[in-house]
Every structure is written in C-alpha cells, then in structure tokens.
Structure 1
C-alpha cells in the first residue's frame, strides 16, 4: 500500500494558517512562493502520494496564487513537468509569456525548470501531478512550445490521460508499490502521447493558438508603453481587431483584461523587490504603462485585495526587509 502524506491548516490557529500554508507550499513543491490575494482568513489541505517517480497531490484551498521566479527555478535540484487538473474551481497557468485557463474536465502543463505563475482566483480542488522532466525530453519532444497550454480532457488521448491521472490518485491507497510504479509509468506515457499529439496538430485551432502566442509576445514587448492598444496591435500583427478578439474568445478573459493583469503582475513583482525600495509606487505603476494613479490603485486593490502600499509593506515584512 502506498503512503499518503497529509497536511491541513485545521491544526493551526486561524491567525497562523496563512504562514503555515506558505511554508507547506514552499517545502512540498520545492521552492514555490505564494500569496492569498490579500485575504486574512485562509484554510487549505494537501494530500500527496507517489506512484513510482510520479508525485500526485490533491490540493483543496481558498483562493491563492503561487509563483516560481527564475532565481528559484535555477536554484532547484529537481526537474518536473507539472500538471494541474481541477476538480472544482479554475486555474490560470502562465509561463513563457503564454497563459492557459483550465477548468474541471481539462488540464494544463508547465515546466518547473523555468519561471511560472499559477492563479487560483476562487476556492479550488485540484489534482496536481508532477512527472520527471527527463522521462519526456528523452523522447525528443520540444517542451517549450507545449508549456502553459490547455491540453484538453474533453476527448481523445488527453481525456484518457486525465481519467488515468484521476483514477490512479483515487486508487493509490489500495495499490502495492509495484502496481503504483506501473500506474505511474502508464500516466507518463499517456501524457507523452497527449503532448506529442498537441505538438503535431496542424489545424485551425493550433493556428489560432499561434496567433494568441503572437499577441502575447507583442503585449510583452510593449507592456510598458501606455499607448498599447487593440488598434495598434491589429496594425502591427496585420490582422483585424475582430480577429484579435476572436483569438481570445475561447479563454475566460479579454484582451484588455489580459493586458491589465500582466501590468498589475509586473507592478507586484517590482513592489516586492527590495531593490526597488527607492522608487515610488506611482513611478513603478507609470513605468508599466499606467497613466492614472487612481485607476491603478483601484485595479490593484481589485486584483490583490490590498492597496499598493499595503501590499508593498506586507511583502517586505514577509521577506524580512
């Protein structure tokens, strides 16, 4: 029978649960920062088990975000491909300038050897699966173009992979060590086949995904420009505004919200950075394309649950600055 490791904030006093959660997330996932959208009340539960080399984690928690910086990724001695497959709630997976939204019935994948951010904007129940990265790269797959993509789960091999991940997790307590190891190898093969199929598709769907990549790249290159607009983007990418909006129509987002969120995330990184202590909040906001302080403050509070000054002070206290 395979062992399951359980963690619950129920054992901690309410005022201590946020700090306890951050410590657990940091240690269990090998160096992962987290924040709670400014919430003061929190509860979360983690259960984890192994199927050979594959690590399965069931996570239940209030809304929260996790972040792995490039520095943390470089300093880690483990290399995994990581899958998030929601049972309840949603996740926004951001890596390599791409962002994939995933809800129950789907899954998305990302690479722990690079920086990434996962947003969980509501209470969630997720299955998180970690697969040894070298097991997939040795088959010749180019991973970078496949990361932060909505792999699927509604049909085909990606659905078989999703059902195998879920059923393996649910049955692990009844498996012998040898059976669990075999189940883990099966999951890795199904994920490999799903990624191989994703890499080989040449359809209108992947052409639209390619346009989304071009849009995201353009936004990333011009994020600091306050004049960044849908009209200018359409002109630069040689397509219509309608086509730009259509490219984002399958995601739980709009282009305007995508730009706003990326600017806010950039401001959050700078506000956390002690090296930016000499810069005012307004200066940081304007450096990332905002041109109205009141609008920035409102948007920042809606995104994080805190005023920019409160967020900065809380981040510095947490880091000991």
Structure 2
C-alpha cells in the first residue's frame, strides 16, 4: 500500500492557514481554485492513500468551496472520475447544468475532464475517491448524463459506498497486493453503479430530469426579482406540486435554492476590488434582491458578516 500523505493546518500559523490550504488543495487535486466564503479563520486536515491507482482522501475542514475552471482542465494530467462521500456535513456538486447534494449515506460522482463547482457550506468530514476514468468508462461507455447525480441510497451504489469507506479505513492493514485488489473492486462497483443508473427509467430519474430543468430555468432567470415557484411552474408548464416533489430530499426548498444562488452571485461580485467595484445596493438589486434590508439580513445569516464587512475583509 502507498504510504499515507498527511497535511494539517495545525502546524501552520493561523494567519497563513487559509492560503496554505488553498495551495494544498490545488496541488493535491491536480488544480482547483478554493474559496473560503470570506472566512478569515480556517483549519483543515487531509489524509490520502492509494489502493492501486485509486486515490482515497479523507478531508476534514471548515466550510469552503472549490472550482475547477476550463484552464485547469486543459492543464491537468490524467482524467479521473471523482466521488465525494460525506461522513459529516454536506457537499453540493455543480456540473454540466446539474446539481446534486450528498450527506452521510450518499455519494456524488463528477468528471475532472469538465468544469465543476463544489460547495461545502458547513464543516465537513468527506471521503474523496478518484478513479481513473478510462478504467470505469471502458469499451466506449459514456456516463456523461449521470455526472453530478446522487447515489448510494440502495442497491449496488450502496455496496460501492460501504466498500470505498471500508477500504480507506482498512488500507493501513492491507498488503500491497490486497490494496491493489481493493482498488480494482472499487472501480468495478463504481462502473456497475453508473450502469445501473443509466439503465433506470423510473419516477426517480423523471424527477431528476425535472429538477435539472428547474435549476436551468433558475440560473437563466436569477436576476428576475419575480422569480418564484409560481413563475417557474408556469414557465415549465407543470404544477407547484411537481416542483416541490422534484426537490424532495434535497434539504432545501426552491425558494431557498434561488436565494442561495443569488447570495453566491453577490459574494462573487463583492469580491471584485478596484475602481470598477460596484456599490453594494446595485449588486443586490442586479441579482433580484428588491429590498436592501432583506438582502443585508440574509447575507449576514449566510456569511456571518454584513455585506460591507465582507467587502472590507
């Protein structure tokens, strides 16, 4: 078994922890851009091992977000399918216009050969697994349509989840040959999980298709202050009940989803510095917040700071 790699901000001065963590994440995961939601205090720990050519990393850290841009994709080494499987906290994966949220008991898979964003809006303890893409999508198989999908609730994907977790925990006790075999098993179980998902024609996948349409509509109309469940239902020609069913189990309502995306957009704009930085009220209004007081209140609830404090920090 490959020896574990351990990285911890405990050995870094508090003022240097955030930039050091961002550098570690970029280097360890072959190019990622990190955002700590504007927080100034941070601590995190990485422990990584390999089972053959499968890389398993345990990540414990304060809330943060990572982004893989098109330029990072072009300069990366090998293609991987990447899995995030939380023990604690949550992970929200965005890729190819889809979004999937995982908590304990589930996993989400995404493709490092495409752009993506992952939000970890609370302190997390994640298992992150990287499997060579060519070993999973063999013989011309294509799994593009099931990236950024939640798996692990039952069936073979549940077996895959438990196998990934147990492999990581038992790697220190395995011989090199056993570790390689465990890595091959993980790849096989991931392949079977994706094949099962692509072959399903159930009400679950229909709800996921509607969920994708809802998210795409929200992203296209995020600046519209009249955006709501009613307006979405009318635009997509479906009932409010179908909208709510599509978001069942996601951990947030459609209204909360809209508000979260608007806040993320405002955060990005508030991070812009220099002479072209826009006034806070203009930013809020441009992203559909019609009331400055309401915007300040929900922004503080989300970040722990007022908009002006966030911009100053």
**Which TM-score applies when normalising by structure 2?**
0.91
Match of 1:171, SS state, is helix
Give the Cα–Cα distance (whole angstroms) in 2 for the partners of residues 8 and 204 of structure 1.
44
Cα RMSD for the two superposed structures: 2.1
The superposition leaves residues 102-158 of structure 1 with CA deviations (integer Å, 9 ceiling, x where unpaired) of 111111111222222222222221110011222233343333321211112x32100
Alignment coverage as a number of residue pairs: 313
| Structure 2: runs of 5 or more not aligned | none
Structure 1 stretches (4+) deviating beyond 6 angstroms? none
Following superposition, the deviation at residue 188 of structure 1 comes to: 0.8
Closer, same or farther: CA 291–213 of 1 in aligned 2, 3 Å? same
Q: Cα gap change, 1:302/1:141 in structure 2, threshold over 3 Å: closer, same or farther?
A: farther
* Pair 1:313–1:302, CA change in 2 (3 A): same
1:286 equivalent in structure 2:
285
> Judging changes above 3 Å, is the alpha-carbon distance between structure 1 residues 249 and 171 closer, same or farther for their aligned structure 2 residues?
same
Q: Paired residue for 2:140?
A: 140
Displacement of 1:4 after TM fit? 0.5
Moved more, 3-12 or 114-123: 114-123
Q: Relative to structure 2, which stretch is displaced further, 170-179 or 48-57? A: 170-179
Q: Equivalents in 2 of 1:220, 1:84: separation in Å?
A: 24
Unaligned runs of 5+ in 1: 315-321
2:3–2:49 CA contact under 8 A, matched in 1 = yes
In 1, are the aligned partners of 2:137 and 2:191 still within 8 Å (CA)? no
Are residues 1:264 and 2:263 paired?
A: yes
Residue 9 of structure 2 is aligned to residue 9 of structure 1: yes
Q: Cα distance, 1:276 vs. partner? A: 8.9
Normalised by the length of structure 1, the TM-score is 0.89
Matched, 1:232 2:209: no
Q: CA–CA distance in 2 between the matches of 1:283 and 1:78?
A: 43
* Cα gap change, 1:142 to 1:262, in 2 (>3 Å): farther
Determine if contact 1:89/1:124 at 8 Å carries over to the other structure.
yes
Give the SS at the match of 1:306: coil
Give the drift of 1:313: 4.9
Distance 2:78 2:301 in 1: 35
Taking the aligned partners of 1:228 and 1:88, their CA distance within structure 2 comes to 33
